[in-house]
Structure 1
């Protein structure tokens, strides 16, 4: 399974960075060809057991990235937050460990992910990790920059 880490510094307070990163409606807006659906679609509504699906594709051709929140603790202005999200799809497997912590007058966002794609040989894990890291780094930057 491939793994990568994205570490970003933000001028936003930790609770606001957390809110923006876990605004699942915004993921639909910033990730090309992807629509996220679920019952809980915002940071304040996500709880252990929350399920959501990121469908990437065009028309009937695509794949579903099924995710379940295993653990979640929201940050405050003086305490870090964390979310552990398991990927349970038929094609995409793995886990996300998200941490948002206060840092000076802003915050740090750390996204650690293990990702496996069915049918892709382990030999290509370094390529999968690099491509995924670039895509997630871009998406996270765009999420943090959104005001909505």
Structure 2
């Protein structure tokens, strides 16, 4: 696919406290019979490295999005990793709630799935 291999830059953080998050699309697939799509990206650094992705699947009259991230910060002392992991999880949950509101205004967000 022309999309696989494409690169893009996102910003991870809150407001001005954001990191440049360079990524390359490694896999993208849509299965019309299953009404299910997947996308995986490789994090290219310089600060965040690893992989992330999501699966979008039909769910009744809506959709379910399952997201994953396996991210490392290569220069982070191991002692700080638990704190950074918790802050990252909180920031990610906040971002997903905002995204859900943008995608379908007025539809309640299942916080167990967003925060879990």
Matches within 5 A, 1:133-144: 133-144=89-100
* 2:52 match: 96
* 2:114 match: none
Deviations 1:43-88 (A, max 9, x none): xxx8111111124674xx9642110000012465842211111101
SS at match of 2:69: strand
- In the superposition, the TM-score normalised over structure 1's length comes to 0.56
Verify the 8 A CA contact 1:92 1:118 in the aligned structure 2.
yes
Structure number with higher relative contact order (C-alpha < 8 Å, ≥ 6 residues apart): 1
1:121 pairs with one of 54, 77, 87: 77
Shift of residue 117, structure 1, vs aligned partner: 1.7
Unaligned runs of 5+ in 2: 105-116
Unaligned runs of 5+ in 1: 1-45
- In the superposition, the TM-score normalised over structure 2's length comes to 0.69
RMSD: 2.7
* Matched length: 101
Tell me, in whole angstroms, the C-alpha distance in 1 between the residues paired with 2:31 and 2:82.
32
